[in-house]
């Protein structure tokens, strides 16, 4: 592990932050007694972050899939600084701000024609909530108030707020958070029911359109407002559905008058080697009816999410009897400084051709860790673009590998038994190589692989 003992970093230790953290900070999605050392990060450059003891780590998780253009990018930092010193924010209810307007226009320019109206929120979870509300309200305002159900994949992840959790089927994420609102059901995840991976064996049986149609028929298509899916399931275990699944869902939605919501919080803005994950599967120029983005949108420089719809959905909200518009929003949704950051991130993405780079580096990463399939403690290796999953035999193995990689200077995150490799899109071939070698070494070090 590289040690960069610079004064400001070492001084950070003297602030007492570690003690303050231990005494007062509640870490989300994390055991109170974490098995591995809880790092205190103080700065980052490119794909590396540095802790208060001067230790430098290669970030193979892009924070949590959001640090798309890496750390300390001067272009983004300058945009944030300029915006913060002119007008940091304003609630968008009755006014506009320049970066919020320009970003909405920019999003319209990178989405298929027709997806041209953006509502801002602050997080991926809020975007999910807003998208589901918009779908239900749109149906109600169009004379179909009985269409309230939202269907999503059992293993999908759409956020941590109550209705977003209702949209996930996995017990670990649900238990103890209910009661949940009515009107949620789960479609069978497109992953093999025999080996739980998929597409790698001839015998794989992967649920698809027939099962989904049947499930929709059972609920009653006229009661369904929306189908909410991730083009590639990320937190749910890097599940790459077979080609054609999203197209089939698009057709099912069209047939039954159901809105298709693509949750691209993780997959959007280049992560899978296309600007949006749905581009891998839908015909060029076609998209979902509602698109949610977050994470990579600001490259992690500020909290921001976006819900983008077509004019046909937007215009209907004029009919709302109480407001004549959308009764939804957040004080800092579309925060001007966050929008300025997003505009700079999209500039960097375009100028450095990072979406194409993500496809190439993703192939390299997948090929580099693919030999792990032969390890006794590895069940599967899969991925798309710079979203690669190494599925271990159990949660404990994944936690062990995460710890061993951290000790060797590489940060990965595991979601359940799946180690997720998702570096910033600026990652270099050398960094991919170092990262992959370290993960392989960490896997080989786990007790179960040695046995
Ligand atoms: C696909 C997807 N949707 C929604 C969310 C929730 O986003 P946030 O954590 O910003 O609320 C996440 C977070 O990982 C995600 O991966």
The mean pLDDT values, 10 residues at a time, for the chain of 451 residues are 61 82 95 90 97 96 98 98 98 97 98 96 98 98 98 97 93 86 96 73 84 97 98 96 96 98 98 98 95 98 98 97 97 98 98 98 98 95 97 95 97 96 98 98 79 46
With a CB cutoff of 8 Å and minimum separation 6, the contacts of 63 are 300
Report the distance separating Cα 422 and Cα 104, nearest Å: 26
Report the distance separating Cα 268 and Cα 239, nearest Å: 15
Q: Tell me the backbone φ, ψ of residue 303, rounded to 5 degrees.
A: -75, 130
Count of CB atoms situated within 10 Å of the CB of 43: 17
Please tell me the distance between residue 275's alpha carbon and the centre of ligand 1 in angstroms. 17
With a CB cutoff of 8 Å and minimum separation 6, the contacts of 16 are none
CATH class of 76-351: alpha beta
- pLDDT at position 451 is 46
Please tell me the distance between residue 159's alpha carbon and the centre of ligand 1 in angstroms. 5
Decide: 265 in ligand 1 pocket, CB within 6 A: yes
The pick from 266, 303, 387 for probing ligand 1's pocket by mutation, whose C-beta has the most ligand atoms within 8 angstroms, reads 266
- CATH 3.90.1150.10 is held by the domain 2-69+353-450: yes
Decide: 303 in ligand 1 pocket, CB within 6 A: no
> Which tens digit of pLDDT belongs to each residue from 204-241?
788 999 999 999 999 999 999 999 999 999 999 999 99
Decide: 266 in ligand 1 pocket, CB within 6 A: yes
- pLDDT at position 147 is 98
Closest CA to 393 of 369, 368, 412, 419: 419
- pLDDT at position 269 is 98
Decide: 231 in ligand 1 pocket, CB within 6 A: no
CA distances from 270 to 72, 83, 279, 345, 416 (A): 19, 25, 11, 11, 24
- Rg (the chain; Cα; Å): 22
Atom in ligand 1 nearest the alpha carbon of residue 65: 14
Q: Tell me the backbone φ, ψ of residue 231, rounded to 5 degrees.
A: -60, -40
Please tell me the distance between residue 444's alpha carbon and the centre of ligand 1 in angstroms. 31
Name the segment(s) of the chain with CATH classification 3.40.640.10: 76-351
Please tell me the distance between residue 234's alpha carbon and the centre of ligand 1 in angstroms. 9
Residue of the CA atom closest to atom 3 of ligand 1: 158
Residues 387 and 425 sit within 8 Å (Cβ to Cβ): no
Atom in ligand 1 nearest the alpha carbon of residue 126: 11
Report the distance separating Cα 122 and Cα 302, nearest Å: 9
Decide: 124 in ligand 1 pocket, CB within 6 A: yes
> Which tens digit of pLDDT belongs to each residue from 156-167?
999 999 999 999
Count of CB atoms situated within 10 Å of the CB of 164: 24
Name the segment(s) of the chain with CATH classification 3.90.1150.10: 2-69+353-450
Q: Which two tokens stand for residue 209?
A: 């359109």
- pLDDT at position 203 is 78
Residue carrying the six token digits 């802790």: 51
């Amino acid at each position: 592990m590289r040690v960069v003992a610079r004064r400001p970093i070492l001084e950070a230790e003297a602030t007492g932050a570690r003690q303050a953290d231990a005494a007062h900070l509640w870490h989300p999605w994390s055991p109170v007694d974490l098995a591995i050392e809880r790092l205190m990060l103080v700065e980052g450059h490119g794909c590396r972050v540095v802790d208060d003891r001067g230790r430098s780590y290669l970030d193979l998780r892009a924070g949590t899939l959001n640090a798309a253009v890496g750390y300390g990018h001067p272009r983004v930092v300058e945009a944030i600084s300029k915006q913060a010193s002119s007008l940091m924010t304003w609630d968008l209810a009755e006014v506009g701000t320049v970066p919020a307007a320009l970003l909405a226009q920019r999003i319209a320019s990178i989405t298929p024609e027709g997806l041209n109206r953006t509502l801002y929120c602050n997080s991926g979870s809020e975007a999910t909530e807003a998208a589901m509300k918009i779908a239900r309200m749109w149906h109600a305002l169009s004379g179909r108030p009985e269409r309230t159900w939202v269907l999503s994949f059992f293993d999908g992840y759409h956020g941590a707020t109550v209705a977003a959790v209702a949209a996930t089927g996995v017990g670990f994420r649900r238990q103890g958070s209910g009661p949940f609102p009515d009107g949620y059901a789960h479609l069978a995840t497109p992953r093999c029911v025999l080996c739980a991976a998929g597409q790698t064996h001839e015998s794989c049986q992967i649920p698809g359109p027939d099962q989904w149609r049947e499930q929709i028929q059972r609920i009653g298509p006229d009661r369904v407002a929306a189908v909410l899916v991730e083009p590639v399931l990320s937190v749910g275990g890097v599940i790459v559905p077979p080609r054609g699944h999203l197209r089939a869902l698009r057709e099912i939605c069209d047939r039954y008058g159901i809105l298709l919501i693509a949750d691209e919080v993780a997959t959007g803005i280049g992560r899978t080697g296309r600007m949006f994950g749905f581009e891998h599967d839908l015909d060029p120029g076609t998209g979902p009816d509602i698109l949610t983005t977050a994470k990579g949108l600001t490259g992690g420089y500020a909290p921001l999410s976006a819900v983008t719809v077509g004019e046909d959905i937007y215009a209907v909200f004029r009919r709302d009897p109480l407001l004549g518009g959308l009764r939804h929003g957040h004080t800092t949704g579309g925060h001007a400084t966050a929008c300025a950051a997003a505009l700079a991130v999209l500039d960097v993405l375009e100028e450095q051709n990072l979406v194409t780079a993500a496809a190439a580096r993703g192939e390299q990463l997948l090929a580099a860790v693919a030999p792990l399939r032969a390890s006794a403690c590895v069940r599967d290796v899969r991925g798309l673009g710079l979203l690669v999953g190494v599925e271990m035999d159990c949660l404990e193995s994944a936690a062990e590998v995460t710890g061993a990689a951290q000790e060797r200077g590489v940060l990965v995150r595991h979601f359940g038994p799946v180690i997720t490799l998702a570096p910033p899109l600026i990652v270099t071939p050398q960094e991919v190589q170092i990262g992959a070698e370290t993960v392989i070494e960490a896997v080989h070090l786990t007790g179960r692989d040695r046995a």
